[in-house]
């Protein structure tokens, strides 16, 4: 145990990409590290939509933090919820008790933003956690089951209408997967309904989907979505939402299943800091990722607002969080060692979004890719990236199997049930 008294204490909040990569970089270094997370696992969020659409198991994309960090004996993992940061007192107030620090790294991520319509959260679940993914899976599969039992034509139509709000990468991935489920996976499973007649609608408020990509790739993505049966609608702003319908201004769409992929807001923990935040609730950090006026406290990942050297804010994606996690570990060690910290610089290796089986768009090193080539690139990057051999192998196997058979292995509806017969 490296708990000898003089070692400085570094506290990391959050075991996502940022926190985990910071922890790894601090393993076996001359610091005592405590990693706090509300969950006992690291989640590979880029594949979360595959859990939501029943292609992968929850445990295929999540690894217990204790296993990942087992060998770093200077790191203690605690399952805890942070209520408040006391920057002046250099301590965190937890759900139970408090914990002091010499250096702090906040990496608590982001959750959904419903743009002031918090009452929509229960009507249109978003996709950030494993529970979100299982809830979305449950709603989608139950909608087909209910449609099979429904006699009323209009109600059956509403049950077979699926709307995804938000045309960013998550919305595109979800809509693409929903299209494939309806057109392929369960196409022959029902006797009384025809799942291939299900209506899948992707709504985007702006002029095109995937606004972070070049316009030509947005168009290719739209084409690919349409080929698998997804209606793409741009300039579409949802003005009202109920349990069985939604409104785009005066137009009503009856739909029983609505999914949210539109807005993101930094973890509410940021608000307890008492420092300036950007409109999404993210902390505006110094070039070295520290909080202005608090050189011993750092914020990384989706929780921080950091301007790219080109002047645009860095997006909330895994590569940014990972690079910041490594950089912050270095800066923590520099600061504790009395050396000057270094400004963070993002090395952009590209971005990609997948649309379905064998279709994706990607920008890699200035190259614009689409179709099968982009999809194979996406597949390769994600598999290589998954942390831990077991996950890598299982995910590969599940995909290969799904590819050959069009089956989705994890097609189980779990969760609370009305009663016991």
> What DSSP string runs through 56-93?
S-GGGSEEEHHHHTTT-TTEEEEE--EEEEETTTTEEE
Nearest to 87 by CA among 104, 70, 111: 104
Q: Which whole-number Å values give the CA distances from 178 to 6, 85, 173, 182, 203, in the listed order? A: 55, 41, 9, 6, 14
- Residues present in the chain in total: 421
Q: Which is nearer to its own copies, 271 or 284 (CB)?
A: 271
DSSP-derived secondary structure letter, 126: B
Question: Which residue in 118, 189, 215, 223 binds its own copies (CB under 8 A)?
Answer: 189
Residue 93: Cβ-neighbour burial (10 angstroms; 0-12, 13-18, 19+):
middle
The C-alpha atoms of residue 1 and residue 385 are separated, in whole angstroms, by 31
**What H or E segment, with its residue span, contains residue 368?**
strand 367-370
Q: Which is nearer to its own copies, 41 or 344 (CB)?
A: 41
Size of the site for its own copies (CB under 8 A): 64
Outline where DSSP puts E strands in 122-197: 161-165
Q: Binding marks (x or -) toward its own copies, 82..121, rule CB under 8 A?
A: xx-----------xxx----------x--x----------
Q: Which residues neighbour 48 within 8 Å (Cβ) at sequence distance 6 or greater?
A: 61, 127, 128, 130, 132, 133
Q: Binding marks (x or -) toward its own copies, 117..156, rule CB under 8 A?
A: -------------xx--x------xx--xx-xx-------
CB of 397 to its own copies, least distance (A): 8
Question: Which residue in 78, 243, 372, 400 binds its own copies (CB under 8 A)?
Answer: 78
Question: Which residue in 57, 234, 280, 351 binds its own copies (CB under 8 A)?
Answer: 57
The C-alpha atoms of residue 9 and residue 199 are separated, in whole angstroms, by 54
Q: Which is nearer to its own copies, 70 or 235 (CB)?
A: 70
Q: Which is nearer to its own copies, 109 or 167 (CB)?
A: 109
Q: Which stretch binds its own copies (CB under 8 A): 37-45, 250-258, 292-300, 340-348?
A: 37-45
What is the biggest distance separating any 2 CA atoms in the chain, rounded to whole angstroms?
73
**417 part of the interface to its own copies, by CB under 8 A:** yes
Q: Binding marks (x or -) toward its own copies, 266..305, rule CB under 8 A?
A: -xxx------------------------------------
Q: Which stretch binds its own copies (CB under 8 A): 81-89, 309-317, 345-353, 376-384?
A: 81-89
Angle between helices 169-180 and 215-227 (to 10 degrees): 20
**Active-site positions?**
173
Structure tokens belonging to residue 271: 């608000």
Q: Which is nearer to its own copies, 147 or 289 (CB)?
A: 147
Structure tokens belonging to residue 392: 């890598």
The C-alpha atoms of residue 328 and residue 287 are separated, in whole angstroms, by 11
CB of 413 to its own copies, least distance (A): 5
CB of 274 to its own copies, least distance (A): 17
The C-alpha atoms of residue 291 and residue 289 are separated, in whole angstroms, by 7
Question: Which residue in 100, 115, 192, 342 binds its own copies (CB under 8 A)?
Answer: 192
Q: Which is nearer to its own copies, 80 or 174 (CB)?
A: 80
Q: Which is nearer to its own copies, 381 or 413 (CB)?
A: 413
**Sign, Cα dihedral of 260, 264, 267, 273:** negative
Q: Which stretch binds its own copies (CB under 8 A): 182-190, 227-235, 252-260, 294-302?
A: 182-190
**378 part of the interface to its own copies, by CB under 8 A:** no
Q: Which residues neighbour 223 within 8 Å (Cβ) at sequence distance 6 or greater?
A: none
**10 part of the interface to its own copies, by CB under 8 A:** no
Question: Which residue in 7, 25, 58, 277 binds its own copies (CB under 8 A)?
Answer: 58
Residues interacting with its own copies, by CB under 8 A? Answer: 1, 38-41, 57-60, 62, 64, 66-67, 70, 73, 76-83, 95-97, 108, 111, 130-131, 134, 141-142, 145-146, 148-149, 186, 188-192, 267-269, 390, 394, 397, 401, 407, 409-421
């Amino acid at each position: 145990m490296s708990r000898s008294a003089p070692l400085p204490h570094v506290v990391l909040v959050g075991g996502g990409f940022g926190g985990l990569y910071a922890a790894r970089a601090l393993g076996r270094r001359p610091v005592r590290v405590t990693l706090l997370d509300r969950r006992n696992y690291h989640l590979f969020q880029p594949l979360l939509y595959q859990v939501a659409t029943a292609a992968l198991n929850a445990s295929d994309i999540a690894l217990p933090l204790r296993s990942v960090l087992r060998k770093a004996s200077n790191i203690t993992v605690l399952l805890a919820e942070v209520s408040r940061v006391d920057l002046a007192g250099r301590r965190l107030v937890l759900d139970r008790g408090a914990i002091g620090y010499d250096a702090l790294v906040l990496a608590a991520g982001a959750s959904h933003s419903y743009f002031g319509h918090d009452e929509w959260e229960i009507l249109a679940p978003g996709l950030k956690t494993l529970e979100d993914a299982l809830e979305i899976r449950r709603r989608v599969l139950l909608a087909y089951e209910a449609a099979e039992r429904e006699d009323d034509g209009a109600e059956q139509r509403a049950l077979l209408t699926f709307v995804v709000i938000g045309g960013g990468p998550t919305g595109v991935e979800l809509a693409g997967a929903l299209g494939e489920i309806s057109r392929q996976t369960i196409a022959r499973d029902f006797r009384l309904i025809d799942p291939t007649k299900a209506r899948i609608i992707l709504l985007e408020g702006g002029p095109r989907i995937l606004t972070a990509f070049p316009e030509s790739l947005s168009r290719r993505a739209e084409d690919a979505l349409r080929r698998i049966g997804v209606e793409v609608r741009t300039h579409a702003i949802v003005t009202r939402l109920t349990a069985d319908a939604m409104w785009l201004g005066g137009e009503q769409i009856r739909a029983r299943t609505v999914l949210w992929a539109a807005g993101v807001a930094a973890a509410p923990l940021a608000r307890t800091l008492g420092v300036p935040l950007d409109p999404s609730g993210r902390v505006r950090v110094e070039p070295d990722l520290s909080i202005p006026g608090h050189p011993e406290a750092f914020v990384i990942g989706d929780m921080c607002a950091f301007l790219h050297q080109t002047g645009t804010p860095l997006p909330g994606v895994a590569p940014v969080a990972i690079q910041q996690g490594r950089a912050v570990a270095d800066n923590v060690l520099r600061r504790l060692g009395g050396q000057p910290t270094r400004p963070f610089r993002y090395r952009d290796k590209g971005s990609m979004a997948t649309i379905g089986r064998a279709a994706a768009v990607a920008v890699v090193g200035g190259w614009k890719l689409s179709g099968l080539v982009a999809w194979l690139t996406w597949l390769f990057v994600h598999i290589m990236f998954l942390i831990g051999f077991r996950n890598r192998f299982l995910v590969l196997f599940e995909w290969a199997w799904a590819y050959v058979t069009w089956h989705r292995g994890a097609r189980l509806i779990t969760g609370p049930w009305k009663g016991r017969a």
